[in-house]
Each structure stands twice: as structure tokens, then as C-alpha cells.
């Protein structure tokens, strides 16, 4: 029997095979083969997009910028002191090439770049930009195309995982889980670590120009996440119609307070980056994970009411809208009215009980006499300055502004419910 391995050793790394490959393969082809092997090694080791971009930056001696299909920054590698734009979106629109094909661009300072699409079939997943003093050589372009293909695989896998995660949140918000254990087990199987509870935040934008709507929508998403993540790194984002719903993880009451505080900053921050775009939103109350649908529904309800009552430019918490959520519903139970009354008056009652004051009685009389301070003072047998002082206390303790018709309506309704003992 002939020992074939003695004639030709084909084991990986064998001297015979490497020698034949080196002698019979053109140098350019050999370099591409070795580069492809390096890409395979990175992919198998789980290096990801960052490692792939670093390899291309090293081989091409250029800065490599990777952005997703919505021009969100993914990776920058090999900049090494070069001036690199945060995005090539605006440069591509004035560059040379096909919209979804390679595009050559001119950078500030006389530098140049080549922007390659990252495709998965007919889907555009992102763009890879090779930026340097001159356009890349044909061989470097081939390296770039190979890396773009490898990145496409990485992004496709991430999209598959993202789809599985999105499916979980859709099911949770549809109340498809019977108990918390079932929900948590399914989340774990999809690589999701659930918080004990969440606060829902709904945000929409108005006044988007049709030509730039997609870009500004992506910018709004980024602004919202950056603002909310300042207090929590694990914010869940779901697209809903023309806006977004964010689930802010919460364990303690302070987490829910942080969510409300951060959310109310979004319109002001967005106004600086997105002139002409008007933001409106709502914030739901804290809910256990299994009841996350409730906080989302409250957030969207608060958004609708806020738009109707106050227009745009505000994000308002459900709890601050007082009576209006109950007025919107076709059916409201006595329990719901009682809960509202207790929530509105609880702090005033507690203060009266602790300090032996008459804040609720003062408020009731103040409304009963048509908000006439002098008459109220006479009925209470106190100086009118005392009534003014008590009214300021009532506003501070309850959180409701007595000069606001909306807040007055809530306070009057709460006191009416209490008087009726419903």
C-alpha cells in the first residue's frame, strides 16, 4: 500500500502544501487568501465587527468607519489622529456612485474616502467607509468588500437575535404570559435579563419634513436613549407607529422618579438638535414586569391627553394628569374614582393628621366660596394671610397648582368623591 501522506502532506500548515501554494499562486491572490483566512479566524473566535474593522484598518492603512442602515455609529478603527467625521451620511449624498452601491466621497482637508454598502441579500444593513489621504487601491477595495461581507453576517446574526428579543417584548405587552416565572424563563432563553419592574415612556415627534423624516426619526431615537440611559444603561426601546415606547427598568421608587425626571428633559434636548421638530410624550406609572403592558398603556394614554390639553413640547406623567385619564374612558368604576381621590388627597390628609392643621377643610371652603380668600378667612375665623399661606402649603404638599384649571378640576373631583363617600 502506498503511503499517500509521504508523497503529499495536506495537513494544515504543512510545508509541502504551503510551498506549492506560494510557488503556484500569484502574490495578490495569495494575500487575498490569507486575508480571507484571517477573517474566518476572527469570525470563529467571536471578534465581531470591531475586530473586523481593526483588521481592515491595519491592512489598508486607513481609518475604517462602520455605520448601520440608519447611519448610527457602530465602529471606528484606525483613526490614529486623522480627522474623521462622526457620520458620512451628508458626504454620501454629494459623492459619486450609486445610492446603494460604492460611493467615493471628499473629506474636509483634501482627504478622500470610499463608502461600501453592507448587504444581506437585498437588505441594506449598513455602510463601511475607508477614509484616508487618497482613495484605496484596488487590492484594498477587495479587502474592504470581503470585510463588508463578513460584517453583513455579524449584523444579520444580531438582527436575528434582535428579532427574538423584540418578539418577547411584543408578547409581554400583549399579556401573553400567564405568570412571572413563565415570562422570566422565556426572557432568559432569548438572552434577556429582566428587571423587577418598568416605567413606560411614550414619545412621538411632529413636524418632520418628508425628505428628512427617516434621519430625524433615528436622531430622536438616539437622543431619547442617550437621555434615558444617563440614569439606566438597560433601557428597552420599541417602535410604535410614528414614535417610540421605552421601558425604563426600575427596582426602587427612586428609579421611577429618575425615569420621570429624565423623560421630561427630552423635549428641551431634542429642540437643540432637531429644530422645527415638536416632541410630545407621556410617562406611565411603575409596574411589575408581568404587568408592563399597563405602564405602556398609561404612557400612551398620557401622550394623547398631553397633546390634546397642552399641545407639543411636553412629556407629562400619567399621575400628573389627575382626572383626565378617567374622563377618557367609556366606563369608570367607583373603585377607580376612589383610588384617584385617595391618591390626590393622601399627602394633605397625612399632613393634617401629623400637624393638626386644616388644609383639606381650607381647600374645601376656598372652592365653596368661589375662591374668595376674604370670605374663606371669615368662615375659618383666621386672617386672610393665613389662608394665603395654607393655599401655598396645599400646592407644595399635593403637587397641584391651584392657579391651573386642569389641576383645580382634579382637586375638585377628588374632594367631591370624598364628600360623596362613593
pLDDT in tens, 180-194: 999 999 999 888 899
Give the model confidence (pLDDT) of 244-293 as tens digits. 999 999 988 888 899 999 999 999 998 888 888 889 999 999 999 999 99
- 105 plus 45 within the same structural domain: yes
pTM greater than 0.75 (yes/no): no
- Residue 409: the pLDDT is 92
Give the model confidence (pLDDT) of 68-89 as tens digits. 888 888 999 998 877 888 889 8
- 317 plus 342 within the same structural domain: no
Strand pairing class (123-132; 197-206):
unpaired
- Residue 7: the pLDDT is 40
- What would the mean pLDDT of 199-205 be, rounded to a whole number? 94
Does a structural domain hold residue 49?
A: yes
Range of the domain at 390: 331-420
Does a structural domain hold residue 181?
A: no
Please state, in angstroms and rounded to a whole number, the distance separating the CA atoms of residues 323 and 327: 6
Q: Which three cell numbers stand for residue 51?
A: 475586530
- What would the mean pLDDT of 204-220 be, rounded to a whole number? 75
Per-residue confidence band for 97, with pLDDT thresholds at 50, 70 and 90 = confident
- 337 plus 404 within the same structural domain: yes
Give the model confidence (pLDDT) of 4-60 as tens digits. 344 434 444 445 445 545 556 788 888 888 888 888 888 888 888 999 999 999 999
- Residue 251: the pLDDT is 86
- 33 plus 113 within the same structural domain: yes
Number of domains into which the chain is organized: 3
Does a structural domain hold residue 309?
A: yes
pLDDT of 331 over the 80 cut? yes
Does a structural domain hold residue 72?
A: yes
Give the CATH number, domain containing residue 368: 1.10.10.2840
**Among residues 101, 130, 153, which one ends one of the domains?**
153
- 223 plus 140 within the same structural domain: no
- 309 plus 336 within the same structural domain: no
Per-residue confidence band for 216, with pLDDT thresholds at 50, 70 and 90 = confident
Is residue 362 packed enough to be buried (19+ CB in 10 Å), middle (13-18) or exposed (0-12)? buried
- Residue 22: the pLDDT is 53
Residue 389 vs residue 158, higher pLDDT: 389
- 283 plus 233 within the same structural domain: yes
Give the CATH number, domain containing residue 308: 3.30.70.1230
- Mean pLDDT is lowest, of 112-126, 224-238, 296-310, for 224-238
Give the model confidence (pLDDT) of 127-144 as tens digits. 999 999 888 899 999 999
pLDDT of 126 over the 60 cut? yes
**Among residues 296, 321, 346, which one ends one of the domains?**
321
pLDDT of 226 over the 50 cut? yes
Does a structural domain hold residue 352?
A: yes
Is residue 393 packed enough to be buried (19+ CB in 10 Å), middle (13-18) or exposed (0-12)? middle
- Residue 90: the pLDDT is 84
Does a structural domain hold residue 385?
A: yes
Please state, in angstroms and rounded to a whole number, the distance separating the CA atoms of residues 354 and 110: 74
**Among residues 289, 321, 353, which one ends one of the domains?**
321
Chain mean position to CA 363: 42
Give the CATH number, domain containing residue 140: 3.30.450.40
- 298 plus 214 within the same structural domain: yes
- 284 plus 346 within the same structural domain: no
pLDDT of 413 over the 50 cut? yes
Q: CB of 63 within 8 A of CB of 132?
A: yes
- Residue 199: the pLDDT is 96
What are the Cα distances from residue 92, in Å, to 56, 115, 172?
A: 21, 8, 40
Does a structural domain hold residue 38?
A: yes
- Residue 11: the pLDDT is 45
- 317 plus 349 within the same structural domain: no
- 266 plus 317 within the same structural domain: yes
- Residue 16: the pLDDT is 47
- Residue 351: the pLDDT is 95
Q: CB of 303 within 8 A of CB of 204?
A: yes
- 231 plus 348 within the same structural domain: no
- What would the mean pLDDT of 203-211 be, rounded to a whole number? 76
Question: Mean pLDDT of all residues in the chain?
Answer: 86
Give the model confidence (pLDDT) of 343-374 as tens digits. 999 999 999 999 999 999 999 999 999 999 99
Does a structural domain hold residue 176?
A: no
Amino acid at each position: 500500500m502506498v503511503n499517500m501522506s509521504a508523497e503529499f502532506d495536506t495537513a494544515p500548515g504543512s510545508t509541502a502544501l504551503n510551498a506549492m501554494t506560494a510557488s503556484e499562486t500569484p502574490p495578490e491572490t495569495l494575500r487575498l487568501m490569507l486575508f480571507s483566512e484571517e477573517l474566518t479566524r476572527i469570525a470563529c473566535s467571536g471578534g465581531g465587527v470591531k475586530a473586523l474593522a481593526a483588521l481592515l484598518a491595519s491592512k489598508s492603512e486607513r481609518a475604517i468607519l462602520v455605520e448601520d442602515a440608519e447611519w448610527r455609529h457602530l465602529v471606528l478603527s484606525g483613526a490614529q489622529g486623522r480627522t474623521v467625521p462622526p457620520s458620512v451620511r451628508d458626504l454620501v449624498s454629494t459623492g459619486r456612485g450609486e445610492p446603494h452601491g460604492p460611493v467615493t466621497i471628499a473629506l474636509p482637508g483634501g482627504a478622500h474616502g470610499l463608502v461600501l454598502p453592507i448587504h444581506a441579500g437585498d437588505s441594506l444593513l449598513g455602510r463601511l467607509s475607508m477614509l484616508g489621504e487618497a482613495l484605496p487601491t484596488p487590492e484594498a477595495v477587495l479587502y474592504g468588500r470581503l470585510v463588508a461581507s463578513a460584517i453583513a453576517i455579524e449584523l444579520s446574526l444580531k438582527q436575528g437575535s434582535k428579532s427574538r428579543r423584540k418578539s418577547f417584548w411584543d408578547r409581554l405587552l400583549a399579556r401573553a404570559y400567564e405568570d412571572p416565572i413563565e415570562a422570566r424563563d422565556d426572557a432568559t432563553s432569548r438572552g434577556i435579563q429582566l428587571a423587577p419592574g418598568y416605567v413606560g415612556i411614550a414619545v412621538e415627534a411632529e413636524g418632520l419634513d418628508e425628505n428628512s423624516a427617516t434621519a430625524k426619526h433615528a436622531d430622536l431615537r438616539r437622543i431619547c436613549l442617550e437621555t434615558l440611559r444617563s440614569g439606566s444603561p438597560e433601557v428597552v426601546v420599541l417602535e410604535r407607529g410614528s414614535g417610540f415606547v421605552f421601558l425604563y427598568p426600575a427596582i426602587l421608587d427612586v428609579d421611577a422618579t429618575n425615569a420621570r425626571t429624565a423623560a421630561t428633559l427630552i423635549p428641551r434636548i431634542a429642540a437643540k438638535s432637531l429644530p422645527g421638530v415638536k416632541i410630545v410624550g407621556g410617562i406611565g406609572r411603575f409596574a411589575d414586569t408581568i404587568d408592563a403592558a399597563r405602564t405602556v398603556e398609561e404612557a400612551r394614554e398620557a401622550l394623547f391627553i398631553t397633546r390634546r390639553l397642552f399641545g407639543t413640547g411636553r412629556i407629562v406623567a400619567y399621575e400628573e394628569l389627575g382626572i383626565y385619564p378617567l374622563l377618557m374612558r367609556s366606563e369608570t368604576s367607583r373603585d377607580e374614582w376612589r383610588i384617584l381621590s385617595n391618591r390626590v388627597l393622601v399627602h394633605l390628609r397625612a399632613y393634617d393628621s401629623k400637624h393638626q392643621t386644616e388644609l383639606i377643610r381650607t381647600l374645601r371652603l376656598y372652592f365653596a366660596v368661589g375662591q374668595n380668600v376674604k370670605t374663606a378667612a371669615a368662615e375659618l375665623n383666621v386672617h386672610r394671610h393665613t389662608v394665603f399661606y395654607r393655599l401655598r402649603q396645599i400646592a407644595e404638599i399635593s403637587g397641584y397648582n391651584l392657579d391651573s384649571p386642569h389641576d383645580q378640576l382634579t382637586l375638585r373631583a377628588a374632594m367631591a368623591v370624598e364628600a360623596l363617600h362613593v
